[in-house]
């Protein structure tokens, strides 16, 4: 957070703050819109201004944090204006969860912890592939798979879904996947219908 933005956040009146999350572990989290326009050296014409949503964290009983501060301030910068502030924060926090949790999954379950090359560019591409894989798995769980897999990690998906779909066979010079009928009825067919339901009517 820049010094100028922090000053704007600290200058907000008390009525500007909205309760975001009730007391949890002695903490209260609040949010507020910040009318802040940073000065940029290079600004494109017709550029839509960014939206700044401030977050204030304070202790329920007025206790101080370890560094002696009464409150902590954070900010989320977005180009989404149509969404309510609290909904925006929930969406932003819910995209992937806490970053430590995502790092653990990327490093230990999606091979991002072992780079294939001594070249920086190749390793950067490798990491991006792992992040894309993670995002696709998140989309698969949210859209196609049953609710029981909503919080499943890649290891569980690998053994419960991907390795159960069928068997790769060779026939008449072709490579085919023979899908088990039980898996088709219980998993693939319902997922297919859920995905089709998302498509706009033609």
User: Same domain, yes or no, for 90 and 1?
Assistant: yes
Domain boundary, last residue among 94, 117, 132:
94
Residue 155 vs residues 102, 137, 145, 150: alpha-carbon distances, Å: 14, 11, 15, 13
Collapsing DSSP states into helix, strand and coil, what is residue 38?
coil
The answer to whether residue 24 sits within a structural domain is yes
Q: Answer yes or no: is pLDDT of 5 > 60.
A: yes
The answer to whether residue 151 sits within a structural domain is no
Q: How confident is the model at residue 96 (pLDDT cuts 50, 70, 90)?
A: low
- Cβ(95)–Cβ(101) below 8 Å: no
Tokens 């029981």 belong to 148
pTM for this model (two decimals): 0.50
Structural domain boundaries, residue 54 = 1-38+48-94
The answer to whether residue 106 sits within a structural domain is no
User: Same domain, yes or no, for 1 and 86?
Assistant: yes
pLDDT at residue number 130: 93
pLDDT digits (tens, 9 = 90+) for 39-82: 655 555 566 788 999 998 887 776 667 666 788 889 999 988 99
**In total, how many domains does the chain have?**
2
User: Same domain, yes or no, for 85 and 169?
Assistant: no
The answer to whether residue 182 sits within a structural domain is yes
The answer to whether residue 123 sits within a structural domain is no
């Amino acid at each position: 957070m820049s010094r100028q933005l922090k000053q704007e956040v600290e200058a907000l009146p008390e009525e500007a703050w909205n309760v975001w999350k009730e007391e949890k572990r002695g903490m209260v989290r609040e949010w507020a819109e910040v009318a802040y326009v940073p000065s940029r050296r290079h600004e494109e014409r017709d550029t839509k201004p960014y939206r700044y949503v401030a977050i204030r964290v304070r202790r329920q009983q007025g206790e101080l944090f370890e560094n002696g501060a009464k409150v902590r301030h954070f900010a989320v910068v977005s180009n989404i204006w149509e969404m309510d502030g609290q909904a925006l924060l929930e969406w932003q926090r819910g995209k992937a969860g806490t970053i430590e949790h995502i790092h653990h999954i990327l490093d230990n379950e999606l091979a991002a912890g072992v780079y294939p090359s001594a070249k920086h560019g190749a390793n950067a591409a490798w990491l991006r592939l792992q992040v894309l894989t993670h995002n696709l798995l998140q989309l698969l769980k949210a859209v196609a798979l049953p609710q029981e897999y909503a919080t499943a990690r890649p290891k569980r998906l690998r053994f419960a879904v991907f390795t159960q779909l069928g068997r790769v066979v060779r026939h008449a010079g072709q490579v085919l996947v023979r899908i088990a009928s039980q898996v088709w009825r219980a998993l693939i067919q319902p997922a297919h219908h859920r995905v089709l339901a998302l498509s706009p009517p033609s």
